[in-house]
Amino acid sequence: MADNKIIKVAVGVLFDQDDKILVACRPKGLHLEGFWEFPGGKVEADETTAGALQREFEEELGIQIKPQQPLISIAHQYPEKTVLLDVWRVALESGQAFGKEGQEIKWLAKSQLVEYTFPEANQSIIKALQLPNDYLITPECGADKEQFIKKIDHAIQQGVELIQLRSKNLSTDDYLSLAKQVSSLCQKKGVQLMLNSDCASESIAGVGLHLSSAALSRLKTRPVDKTVWCAASCHNEQELAQALALNVDFVCCSPVLPTPSHQDADPIDWQQFAALCQRSTVPVYGLGGLNHSHHKQVVALGGQGIAGIRAFWPGE
C-alpha cells in the first residue's frame, strides 16, 4: 500500500555525436536491479533540478553536463512511493562517460530503447524521445486529391514527421482510399501517420489512431494494440483523465489560444495548458492558435511541441 511519499527525481537525456542516447543498468542490490534507466537521481532539499543533474552525472558517470531544455515531467505511482520525474535534455561539456559505480552503460539509438527493460516510469520518456516536436493535422481534402497528397509530401520535405489525416467531408470508403495513398507515401519517407477516429472504422497496417474527444468518451479500453500509436484530443481535466485511463501514447490539448477554425471554443489559456501538462503522464502537444514562435513556451510549460494545420500546411 502506498504511503504518500513523494520523491522528486532529476533525469537527464544525453545524446552523443551519432544521435545515440546514454543509458545505464541498475546494479544488483538496488531497487529494480537489472533495469535500464536514463541517468539522474533524487533532487536534494537544497538543490535545483539543474544542480541535481550536474551532480549526478559527475558522481555516476564522471562527466560534466549542462541542462538544455525540459523534455517531460511525469508523476508515477509505485506501490511503495510516488516518483516525480523532471526530465531534461542535457549537453556534454567535458569528460568521457563511464560507470563510476561499476554500472554498465550503453549508447542506444532511439529505435533500440524498446528492446531494453526500463522501469514503468521511464516509458513516457521513451515515447517523448520517439515523438517529434511538430504534429501536422491536415485540412479537409478538396476535390483535387493529387494536389492534397503533393502538399503532404511537401510538408514532409520541410521536416514534418508526424501527421494526422483529418478529413471529415469524405465518406468512410473515400477516406480509407485516401488514407492508403497517404500511408504509402509516409511509409516510404519514414513518417508516422495517424488516422482520425471520426473518419475511419478500420485501421491500416503501420498507421496509428487519433481519438477525438467524442470517440474518447465512448471507449472503456484502448482500441488498438500497444504496438500501434494511439493519441487523443483533450480539452479539460476530465478528458485527459479518460485518455490516460485508456493508456494512450500522447495527447493534444486545445484550444490553447483563440483559433479561426473553432471560433465558438473558449481557449484553455497558457495556465490551464501548463496544469494539464503537469497532470499528464504522457507527452502533450499544444493545439489551437499556435505557430512556431510558441514552441519554446509550450516546451517550457511541459509540452512536447506544437500541433496544428496552419503552422505546417504548405501555402497556409
Q: Domains plus CATH for the chain? A: 6-112 (3.90.79.10), 134-308 (3.20.20.70)
In 3D, which of 282, 239, 315 has the Cα closest to residue 87?
282
Distances (CA, A) of 114 to 16, 21, 108, 111, 210: 19, 13, 10, 7, 22
Three-class SS of residue 253?
strand
Q: Could you check whether the bond before residue 314 is cis, i.e. omega within 30 degrees of 0?
A: no
Span 248-267, pLDDT tens digits:
999 999 999 988 766 677 89
- Average pLDDT for 31-56: 94
Is pLDDT of 1 > 90?
A: no
Which letter, b or e, does each residue of 161-174 get, where b requires 16 or more Cβ atoms within 10 Å of its Cβ? bbbbbbbeebeeee
Is pLDDT of 37 > 90?
A: yes
Is pLDDT of 200 > 70?
A: no
Say if CB 39 and CB 60 are below 8 A apart. Answer: yes
In 3D, which of 161, 220, 229, 218 has the Cα closest to residue 195?
229
Enumerate the H helices of 17-171 as residue ranges: 49-61, 123-130, 145-157
Is pLDDT of 101 > 70?
A: yes
Span 159-171, pLDDT tens digits:
999 999 998 888 8
* pLDDT at site 169: 86
107 φ, ψ (degrees, to nearest 5): -105, 120
